[in-house]
Amino acid sequence: MLDIKFVRENPDAVKENIRKKFQEQKLPLVDEVIALDAKYRADLKEVEALKAARNKLSKANGPLFGQLKKCTDEAKKAELQAQIDANNAAVKADADRMAALEAEIEASSARIQEIMYTIPNMIDPSVPIGPDDSCNVEVQRFGEPVVPAYPIPYHVDIMESFDGIDLDSAGRVAGNGFYYLLGNIARLHEAVLAYARDFMINKGFTYVIPPFMMHGNVVKGVMSFPEMDAMMYKIEGEDLYLIGTSEHTMIGRFIDQTIDEAKLPLTLTSYSPCFRKEKGAHGIEERGIYRIHQFEKQEMIVVCKPEDSMAWYEKLWQNSVELFRSLEIPVRQLECCSGDLADLKVKSCDIEAWSPRQQKYFEVCSCSNLGDAQARRLRIRVKGADGKNYLAHTLNNTCVAPPRMLIAFLENHLQADGTVTIPKVLQPYMGGLEVMVPSKKA
């Protein structure tokens, strides 16, 4: 969310940013919010003037009452009483006007907030311009993508060769978008999470297990309304939502807090299950675990000073590359274009893993710099060394999300005989197992 002062002083820049995000329907909102803001400030000023006038009239009545009490001249008493009545009438008129103004101020404030939640954040100048993800730009590749001489089966077939997945039972229990993982596949799932946890701890990040639900005001603080509608499951009858990613409650932890600058940066890595409606998502009905309603994830979160956020953005996505390469999975970095950025994001990139079966890359991590957008919404401030407060910057990045990681892992480590090799870094988390042997042919 932008600062209203910034919008007021830079309307053309805000409109140009909206155009770059291909959201022309939002252009009228800029003029509307500027006009509303002007009225809001004028109404506040008038209320203050009315309060001052009311206080002056109320004070003036005190001496008049005293004179009236002592006065014996009937004509003078009538004159004093008339003055008192006139002052009282003026006070009442001012009170009525203030009540009307305060109602207008409340309405203006609500509409201003609604608009400010809708106007997108200013994107970084380095962001490529394009309407959708088809315009995302490959920046660099890490590792050699290999297409083996033998066929790579669909990931569910690989898992089934290890008796490692049961989609049919999950469908009967919960419907499409859910799964049972079993045996070594389930163990591999947890091994990847445990390895990612320790990988980030060794990077100096603090491990956190956050709440898996949050209040509605936190939801509004961490994401845009379209994202919220498409993703969030609401708990019926309660002001609680299931998280779609631990980023939400991790950033929500600092709502209405003022952080000592000396404690920055806060570098955190969090584990959580994630729940998503995947509203409008293609593939949720397909047999597989690429798009699902429930999964687990290890996340990276940074809260830092504004001047440090871009450096942290670079470090975060590089952590993902290093982690995937340590698991011998080729990846590439893909810069997200303007139209593919969620409204709160300043800059974002995806890390995509190589799929030997599809012979293309697919998304496994998403790294984002949100500037001060979340901090402004949640009122997360930093107390500087000079005693002045300013808004923090927040960033997040996927460390690993095992359903997609499992797809990449199994495809890249599957051998011609159906076995799956375990990289050395993961073997301690698999009880020393070096090779997974299938119970049947995929």
Per-residue pLDDT of the chain (442 residues; tens, 9 = 90+): 899 999 999 999 999 999 999 999 999 999 999 999 999 999 999 998 888 877 776 666 667 667 666 776 667 767 766 776 676 676 677 788 889 999 999 999 999 999 999 999 999 999 999 999 999 999 999 999 999 999 999 999 999 999 999 999 999 999 988 999 999 999 999 999 999 999 999 999 999 999 999 999 999 999 877 777 778 999 999 999 999 999 999 999 999 999 999 999 999 999 999 999 875 555 544 678 888 999 999 999 999 999 999 999 999 999 999 999 999 999 999 999 999 999 999 999 999 999 999 999 999 999 999 999 999 999 999 999 999 999 999 999 999 998 899 999 999 999 999 999 999 999 999 999 999 999 987 6
CA distance 407 to 188: 11
CA distance 183 to 178: 17
* Segment holding 294, helix H or strand E: strand 294-304
Tell me the whole-structure pTM to 2 decimals. 0.89
Residue 315's nearest CA partner among 325, 327, 300 is: 300
How many DSSP H helices and E strands does the chain contain?
13, 18
CA distance 300 to 253: 14
CA distance 299 to 401: 8
The domain 133-436 is classified under which CATH number: 3.40.50.300, 3.30.930.10, 3.20.20.140, 3.50.50.60? Answer: 3.30.930.10
Looking at CATH, the fold of the domain delimited by 4-118 is given as Helix Hairpins (1.10.287)
For residue 84, the model assigns a pLDDT of: 66
Q: Answer yes or no: are the C-beta atoms of 371 and 393 closer than 8 Å.
A: yes
Residue 347's nearest CA partner among 368, 332, 319, 364 is: 368
Show me where the domains of the chain are located.
4-118, 133-436
